Amino acid sequence: MTDGPDAATLARHALERDVVLAPGNAFSLSGSACGFLRFNVAQCDDERIFSVLEEITRAP
The string of DSSP codes covering 1-60 is --SS--HHHHHHHHHTTT---EEGGGG-TTS--TT-EE--GGGTT-HHHHHHHHHHHH--
Statement: the pTM of the whole predicted model exceeds 0.75: yes
pLDDT digits (tens), the chain, 60 positions: 456 788 899 999 999 999 989 988 888 888 888 888 888 888 788 888 899 999 998 866
Nearest to 13 by CA among 46, 45, 40, 51: 51
Say which residues have a Cβ less than 8 Å from residue 40's Cβ, sequence separation at least 6.
20
